[in-house]
Amino acid sequence: MKHERHTVDCEPAHPGYVSAFLRIAGDECAFVECYTTHALPHLLAALEAHGKKPEQVRYVVVTHAHLDHAGGASALMKACPNATLLAHPRAARHLVAPEKLVSSATAVYGEETFRRTYGTIEPIPEARVRTLGEGETFALGASTLRVFHTEGHARHHFVVHDPDTRTVYTGDTFGLVYPRLQRGGTFAFASTSPTDFDASAAYASIDKVLSLGEPTASPTHFGDVTNVEEVAAQVRRFIARSEELVVREAATTASVADIQARIESDLRVVFDDAAKAAGLLLDAEDWASLTLDLTLNAQGLAFAADKRRKAS
């Protein structure tokens, strides 16, 4: 049986930002990740380019419920009538009943920006959803893939081990590795977006990916990476610096807004230093492309700091 894995750029207007993976095993297909509803034409085009039809898609797999990974799940499921959605138990409920997810995101972005960015998110029938516990497997053609729950970025996150193509689909567990930022050397960083940053869990999740022994990791942001040890080391360093910022700010009485502003300023220095160490001089376009990540990472760390000081 022929085993194929193809990276699909989900937003060609901004290439190298977010990927999905088309996995083919004989006559059966699966998508791992699906971005937003706007990615649907690109996902279906990938199927056609490889001689497959939507009816051959057996699974749509999402590593977690964040909208840049699962926002397009309802549209893709509607287009693939025989597919089952596979998700972490904590993620599945938000896809079956997405009202809370949509409401909270709309409150942050506003109705117009939300629709423009994410499109329409509809409920997925519960009968078409299967949750996967720690270590559970699913069959695709003659392949067996296994999921491992990986916290640190999100409590509803798992990675997918695919031995037949020698990779692990890592979602955001193994950091972000944008192709544009690899001009000097490896440049990878952690995602600490709201609201589940946990340094010790993040370290353990990286260790889990490495323990699977595959030569390739496939982060959603972006594509395949083969220098897995170096990527892991860089992401660990970002987690360590992030934890230092959380500890520092948890000891203050500042407002969450002030904490976020301070952390975002410090993260710019962290990013700049890490880039220089990788032989990369960040230019204006690089910084523009990193604006959202800087803001989200700072928001997540400010949330973590505030939660920690309230708990103490």
End-to-end CA distance of the chain: give it in Å, rounded.
56
Q: Is 32 helix (H, G, I), strand (E, B) or coil?
A: strand
Q: Is 119 helix (H, G, I), strand (E, B) or coil?
A: coil
Same domain, 145 and 247: no
- CA angle in degrees (0–180, nearest 5) for 214-77-140: 35
Q: How far apart are CA 118 and CA 120, in angstroms?
A: 7
**157-175: average pLDDT:** 98
- pLDDT tens digits, residue range 233-266? 999 999 999 999 999 999 999 999 999 999 999 9
Any domain includes 22: yes
Same domain, 250 and 144: no
Same domain, 104 and 3: yes
The neighbouring-strand residues paired with 219 are 171
pLDDT in the model for residue 111 = 86
Any domain includes 195: no
Q: What percent of the chain has pLDDT over 90?
A: 91
Inter-axis angle of helices 284-311 and 228-250, nearest 10:
50
The amino acid that residue 35 corresponds to is: Y
Any domain includes 218: no
Any domain includes 306: yes
Range of the domain at 124: 1-149
Q: How far apart are CA 312 and CA 300, in angstroms?
A: 19
Any domain includes 62: yes
21 to each of 48, 60, 219, how far by Cα in Å? 14, 10, 10
Same domain, 111 and 249: no
Confidence of residue 1 (pLDDT cuts 50, 70, 90): low
Residue 146, pLDDT above cutoff 70: yes
Any domain includes 175: no
Q: Over the chain, what is the mean pLDDT? A: 96
Boundary-marking domain end, from 100, 129, 149: 149
Same domain, 120 and 263: no
Any domain includes 158: no
Any domain includes 187: no
Same domain, 9 and 134: yes
Q: Domains in the chain: how many in total?
A: 2
Reported pTM: 0.96
Boundary-marking domain end, from 149, 171, 186: 149
- pLDDT tens digits, residue range 177-195? 999 999 999 999 999 999 9
pLDDT in the model for residue 183 = 93
Q: How far apart are CA 90 and CA 157, in angstroms?
A: 8
For position 70, which CATH number holds? 3.60.15.10
Q: How far apart are CA 100 and CA 172, in angstroms?
A: 22
Boundary-marking domain end, from 131, 149, 167: 149
Same domain, 133 and 258: no
137 to each of 63, 90, 134, 171, how far by Cα in Å? 14, 17, 9, 17
Radius of gyration of the chain (CA): 19
Q: How far apart are CA 200 and CA 173, in angstroms?
A: 13
**21-35: average pLDDT:** 97
125: DSSP letter: P
